[in-house]
Structure 1
């Protein structure tokens, strides 16, 4: 009988430890859920405030501006079109 009582007391102590640990885990879960909600709200706010599409000038205008600033530039219309394509691709991936 003494051995059974000792075993029950040991199980009771283990059960109390499990309850304490689970209670702490429940609190951590609630805190993490709150942080996640705040992060999503912040993300949505940033997403809504960021410009969605940049207005790039036409490739021909870019070539003309470049030639006006750098007379000896070897860039041509095809180069500017490629640059604009790269920029628009980079913008879409953000």
Structure 2
């Protein structure tokens, strides 16, 4: 009978340890779930704020700035317009 009581006491102590461990793991799971929710919220906020459209100056203004800095430049207004079109298309494809 003493041996059975001793065995029951050991099992009871082991069961208590398992309950404590299980409780700690449950708390850790809750904390990790909260961190995941916050990370998802931050990610969505970053994603939403990153979807801004770049604004480019007018082609004629850019051409004038270029001609001021590089007097002998052979770039024409159509070239500047084409470059801005490429940049806008690149910007649009990065938003998707």
Matched, 1:9 2:3: no
Q: Which residue of 1 aligns with 2:40?
A: 40
Query: 1:56 offset after TM fit, Å?
Result: 7.0
Q: How many corresponding residue pairs?
A: 91
- Higher relative contact order (CA closer than 8 Å, sequence separation 6+): 2
Q: Could you tell me how far apart the structure 2 residues matched to 1:37 and 1:51 are?
A: 22
Unmatched tracts of structure 1, length 5 or more: none
* Aligned structure 1 segments of 4 or more residues deviating by more than 3 angstroms: 52-57, 64-73
TM-score, normalised relative to structure 1: 0.60
Q: Superposition RMSD on alpha carbons, in Å?
A: 3.8
Structure 2: give runs of 5+ residues left out of the alignment: 74-78
TM-score, length of structure 2 as denominator length: 0.59
